[in-house]
Chains A and B, each alone.
Chain A
Amino acid sequence: MAMGAEVEAIQTRNSEVRKSSGRFGGPTTTAGRQEERLGWMLLTPTVLVVVLVAIYPLLETFRLSFTNYRATRPDAWRYIGFENYRDLFADDVFLRSLRNTFVFTISSVGLETILGMVIALTIHSNFKGRGLVRTSMLVPWAIPTVVSSLLWVWMFHDGYGVINGVLVRAGFDRFQNFNWVGDPTTALGAVVAVDVWKTTPFMALLLLAGLQVIPEDVYEASRVDGASKWQQFWQITLPLLRPALLVALIFRTMASFRVFDMIFVMKQYATDTMSVSIFAFREMMVKQRYGFGSAAAVVIFLCIGLMVIGYTRLIRVEEG
């Protein structure tokens, strides 16, 4: 989702939180009861939206995943237990999509972290035009995912793309008409490249924020002790950056794991790059196999759910 959430999440961990009075029971005073009523009143619209449009459909997806429901014959369905899940893990295309998703997630989050770190360390010094560089990093982040995909499809174009154009001009003639997005050996890499381009700046800005709060005297002290730049990075920068890094990593992992639009726009239903989300989407919305597709959707939900639990543990909402 948008980057504000991560930022605010980090803030909450530390912000002063008002102690709640009636922790083990209801409020006892009239004013307290009134406050409770007002609180619930203000909460109701949001809770209604969340419950009716997200939680209820989610439960419905769980239920569907235990049925053989198909939209093509809506009245002939029954509960079939875990059969969909068994079939799922025997389905080659699903297993392939699971593998693609893991490869996509690990390589893009890994590359984003390393590249983001290099960029953050570079910008983390005073120089003229620093503001400009930071602003430029908001550009890939603000461009809609569909647009980024189309943009890179055009740059990757086999005949007229600028990437092959530059490569050929630099003497790499074998890239003349090379189809980066179409060739099964490079397709997943091309998709990862687009994701890395879109999200590295965001990673760099988060890490930069973390870098800026490491006190300069820690470095000063280690310099006196004769630590090299390399040692300083591993023994000071990295450990002190850990909280910011961890939050950024979990957020990026969750977002990558459910990837849909970026790959869909570039490759549609091609098996060599299909993600689990695209697999689930096709089973449900194209093949109309709602039961089977829902099982795949549940798998994604559970994986991301685990990450969310880990994440909320990490930031401890409202320690009251």
Chain B
Amino acid sequence: MHWFLDMPHSLQAAAILSLFAVAVLLSAPRASVATVHRLTLLAPIAAALPALFQRGPEAFAVLAVLALALIGALLLCTDALENPIHRVECGALLLLGTAGACVLATANNLLSILIGFESMSLAVAVMTGLGRGPRTLEVAFKFFALGAASVATMIYGIGLVAYAAGSFEIGAAPLAGLTGLHQAGLLLITLGITYELALVPIHFGTLGVYFAAPMSFAGFAMTVSKLGAALAVARLAAAHPHVQPMLVGLGVLSITWATFGGLAQRHLRGLLAYSAVGHGGFLALSIGCGTDGRTAAVFYAIVYVASAALVAAALAGRDGDLPYAELRTEPLGKLRTTALVTGLLSLSGVPPSPGFWAKLAVLGPSWHVAGPLLTCIAVLGGVFGALYYLRPVPDLIAGLRSGERGTAASRSAGVAIALAGGVTVLFLVLPYLALRLAN
């Protein structure tokens, strides 16, 4: 047993998750759906046990990912699948994807990055494909194709780096004369990973998933995948400073792109999709701004995934695009609406919300490293984003009073909302908690 205990926490977690995934798949024919669901819920909790009382960035990363996976598992039973039998497979895929995210988030080795990224990406692709309706298949295929192209680029980059440095470790220095290849390779690897961060110009695949995948899987992509990718990119940027200018540039571009794109949206899913792109931009900008920037980035990431999880939980199980015009005629239930409004406020970075503290934290390192012009663009993009985030809010709040019961959240979705909501409000009132976690 000691070989298990000697493994790093992320691998322990990944191993436990994979075991549970296999168990879920094997038990499916005989056990009831409820049992399978409970197994899926138990998995992240079990996987978190080894890391639960440890300190340090690795344990924290694993715990964060697993907490988000728990929320995803809670939401699992709410979504419409093409064939309800596939719920079992989705559960297993969720666990395997989380395992990949754990590995990705704590990777010190380029091959770990590769494995983690692939597991996550393929899991999301298949889960999306299993949803109901032709739109989900469409976005699944596009996500897969673009993702596979990114992975291929990443592999090429890994090869170049391995050739130039003689090792797969992230911090390995290039051998003399091969710096050019080394740098090119690192750029390609970073570009590949930012596929999951939804940075412009390689955001199309993830944008489609945010648009049309069943909400809990889109939520998974928005939270778990993003967190894993962000942490991996942060490690890369810490070890190899020359990718940072690229991250800064792409970040600012994504923020601007997302603000304009979001302004054109007339339905909630579109809003959330472009919001995710914008937040990916802020993450990249902040990661690219030196050590302070990376601390700010982790803080931002925690706050962002809490808010995104809250929004995903609020919307889970509600089919369709959710156009704004419909929000008054078919209101969401009271709990959902409150959760959604809180989440939207936090995502938009308007006070009082933790998202605001996060944006404030990012701006400092950005000014000092990225320069005044880029920071101004980022700030303007961020504050003008409020114009599209807040557009549905008056209708949402007005819908609260309506006597008709809107679609109520199922119990597990309710628990998910409570979890995510609790964390978000906690960060609202006591932001330094998030920072302590980040450190």
B and A form one assembly = no
